[in-house]
Chains A and B, each alone.
Chain A
Amino acid sequence: MSQAPRQGEQPPEGRGPADERRGAAALLETYHRLAPVTVPLYALLLALLVGAGVMLIAGANPFEAYGALFAGAFGNPERLVRTLVRSTPYVVAGIAVALAYRAGLFNIGVEGQLLIGGLTGVWVGTMSALAGTPAVLYVPLVLLAGALGGALWAGIPGVLKARTGAHEVIVTIMLNAIALRMVDWVVTSREPKILLDPDASTPRTPDIVPAGQLPDLVPGTAIPVGLLLAVAIAAGAWYLVSRSTLGFQIRTVGTNPSAARYAGMSVPRIIIVSMLISGAVAGIGGIIAVNAGDSAHLTPGLLRNVGFDGIAIALIARGNPLAVIPAALLWGSLLSGAPLMQVQADLSIDLVRVVQASVILFVAGDMIVRTLFRIRPERGAGGSPTPAATGWGAQT
Chain B
Amino acid sequence: MAQDTAPPRAEEHEPEVAVDTARGGLTGLSRLEIIGGLYLLVGVALAWLGVGLPADAIALQFGVGEIAPSLDLNPAVSVPVLAGLIAASGLVGILDRRLPRLAVPALVAGTVLVVPLVLIATLSQSGVPQTNVITLLGESLRLATPIALGALAGLFCERAGIINIGIEGMMLAGAGIGFVFYGLVGQAAGGWPLYAAVVVAVATGAMMAALHALMTITFRVDQIVSGVAINLLAIGITSFLRRQVIIPEGLGGGVTLPTIDLPGLSSLPVLGQLFTGRPIFLSMFVIFVLVQVTLFRSAWGLRVRSVGENAHASETLGIDVVKTRYQAVIIGGMLAGLGGAWFSLETVGTFDDVMTNGKGFIALAALIFGKWRPWPAFGGAVLFGFSEAFGARLQLLGAEVAGYPIPAQFLQSLPFVVTIIVLAGAIGRAVPPANVGKPYERSR
Determine whether A329 belongs to the interface, using a CB cutoff of 8 Å to chain B.
Answer: no
| A177 and B239 form a contact (CB under 8 A) | no
Residues of A within 8 A of B372 (CB): 393
Instruction: Compute how far the CA of A170 lies from the CA of B365 in the bound complex, rounded to whole angstroms.
Output: 7
Q: Of B235, B424, B431, which is within 8 A of A353 by CB?
A: B235
Residues of A within 8 A of B222 (CB): 364, 384, 386, 388-389
From 160 to 191 in chain A, residues with beta carbon under 8 angstroms from any chain B beta carbon are 160, 163-167, 169-171, 173-175, 177-178, 181-182, 184-185, 189, 191
Distance (whole angstroms) from the CB of A307 to the closest CB of chain B: 11
Instruction: Compute how far the CA of A391 lies from the CA of B412 in the bound complex, rounded to whole angstroms.
Output: 28
Residues of B within 8 A of A383 (CB): 220, 439
Residues of B within 8 A of A164 (CB): 31, 423-425
Closest A residue to B158 using CB positions: A392
Residue-wise interface mask of B (329-365) relative to A, using a CB-CB cutoff of 8 A (1 in contact, 0 not): 0000000000000000000000000000010011011
Determine whether A80 belongs to the interface, using a CB cutoff of 8 Å to chain B.
Answer: no
| A364 and B358 form a contact (CB under 8 A) | no
Q: Given A177-B416, A383-B439, is A367 in contact with B423 using a C-beta cutoff of 8 Å?
A: no
Residues of B within 8 A of A350 (CB): 235-236, 239-240, 242-243
| B437 and A392 form a contact (CB under 8 A) | yes
List the one stretch of A15-23, A270-278, A355-363 in contact with chain B.
Answer: A355-363
Instruction: Compute how far the CA of A170 lies from the CA of B228 in the bound complex, rounded to whole angstroms.
Output: 13
Determine whether B18 belongs to the interface, using a CB cutoff of 8 Å to chain A.
Answer: no
| B239 and A353 form a contact (CB under 8 A) | yes
| B420 and A393 form a contact (CB under 8 A) | no
| B243 and A185 form a contact (CB under 8 A) | no
Q: How large is the interface on A (under 10, 10 to 19, 20 to 34, 35 or more residues)?
A: 35 or more
Residue-wise interface mask of A (87-115) relative to B, using a CB-CB cutoff of 8 A (1 in contact, 0 not): 00000000000000000001010000000
Distance (whole angstroms) from the CB of A191 to the closest CB of chain B: 6
| B364 and A173 form a contact (CB under 8 A) | yes
From 410 to 444 in chain B, residues with beta carbon under 8 angstroms from any chain A beta carbon are 410, 412-413, 416-417, 419-420, 423-425, 429-432, 436-439
| B439 and A384 form a contact (CB under 8 A) | yes
Distance (whole angstroms) from the CB of A300 to the closest CB of chain B: 10
Closest A residue to B371 using CB positions: A393
Determine whether B165 belongs to the interface, using a CB cutoff of 8 Å to chain A.
Answer: yes
| B423 and A181 form a contact (CB under 8 A) | no
In this complex, how many residues of chain B approach chain A with their Cβ under 8 Å: the count is 57
Determine whether B250 belongs to the interface, using a CB cutoff of 8 Å to chain A.
Answer: no
Determine whether A26 belongs to the interface, using a CB cutoff of 8 Å to chain B.
Answer: no
Residues of B within 8 A of A165 (CB): 425
Instruction: Compute how far the CA of A358 lies from the CA of B211 in the bound complex, rounded to whole angstroms.
Output: 12
Instruction: Compute how far the CA of A348 lies from the CA of B372 in the bound complex, rounded to whole angstroms.
Output: 40
Distance (whole angstroms) from the CB of A42 to the closest CB of chain B: 15
| B165 and A365 form a contact (CB under 8 A) | no
List the one stretch of B43-51, B131-139, B271-279, B401-409 in contact with chain A.
Answer: B401-409
Q: Of B224, B230, B405, which is within 8 A of A386 by CB?
A: B224
Instruction: Compute how far the CA of A315 lies from the CA of B225 in the bound complex, rounded to whole angstroms.
Output: 8
| A189 and B416 form a contact (CB under 8 A) | no
Closest B residue to A382 using CB positions: B441
| A394 and B409 form a contact (CB under 8 A) | no
Distance (whole angstroms) from the CB of B296 to the closest CB of chain A: 19
Instruction: Compute how far the CA of A321 lies from the CA of B180 in the bound complex, rounded to whole angstroms.
Output: 41
Closest B residue to A315 using CB positions: B225
Determine whether A219 belongs to the interface, using a CB cutoff of 8 Å to chain B.
Answer: no
| A185 and B407 form a contact (CB under 8 A) | yes
Instruction: Compute how far the CA of A353 lies from the CA of B226 in the bound complex, rounded to whole angstroms.
Output: 15
Residues of A within 8 A of B225 (CB): 315, 360, 364, 384, 386, 388-389
Determine whether A246 belongs to the interface, using a CB cutoff of 8 Å to chain B.
Answer: no
| B436 and A393 form a contact (CB under 8 A) | yes
Instruction: Compute how far the CA of A108 lies from the CA of B219 in the bound complex, rounded to whole angstroms.
Output: 23
| A173 and B232 form a contact (CB under 8 A) | no
Instruction: Compute how far the CA of A182 lies from the CA of B163 in the bound complex, rounded to whole angstroms.
Output: 29
Determine whether A217 belongs to the interface, using a CB cutoff of 8 Å to chain B.
Answer: no
Most buried by A among B236, B243, B439: B236
| B226 and A364 form a contact (CB under 8 A) | yes
Q: Of A174, A349, A355, A356, which is within 8 A of B420 by CB?
A: A174
| A175 and B420 form a contact (CB under 8 A) | yes
Q: Given A177-B413, A184-B409, is A347 in contact with B244 using a C-beta cutoff of 8 Å?
A: yes
Most buried by A among B222, B358, B419, B425: B222
Residues of A within 8 A of B419 (CB): 170, 174
Listed A/B pairs (18) with beta-carbon separation below 8 Å: A164-B31, A166-B423, A170-B419, A171-B420, A173-B361, A174-B365, A175-B416, A178-B416, A308-B232, A353-B232, A353-B240, A354-B237, A361-B229, A365-B215, A388-B222, A392-B163, A392-B437, A395-B432
A residues apposed to B, CB below 8 Å: 54, 58, 106, 108, 156, 160, 163-167, 169-171, 173-175, 177-178, 181-182, 184-185, 189, 191-192, 308, 311-312, 315, 347-358, 360-361, 364-365, 367-368, 383-384, 386, 388-395
B residues apposed to A, CB below 8 Å: 25, 31, 158, 163, 165, 215, 219-226, 228-233, 235-237, 239-240, 242-244, 358, 361-362, 364-365, 368, 372, 404-405, 407, 409-410, 412-413, 416-417, 419-420, 423-425, 429-432, 436-439
Can you add 20 more A-B contacts, CB < 8 Å, to A182-B413, A392-B158?
A: A166-B420, A170-B364, A173-B364, A174-B365, A174-B417, A175-B416, A178-B417, A184-B409, A308-B231, A349-B243, A350-B240, A353-B233, A353-B239, A360-B229, A365-B219, A365-B221, A365-B226, A368-B219, A390-B437, A393-B368
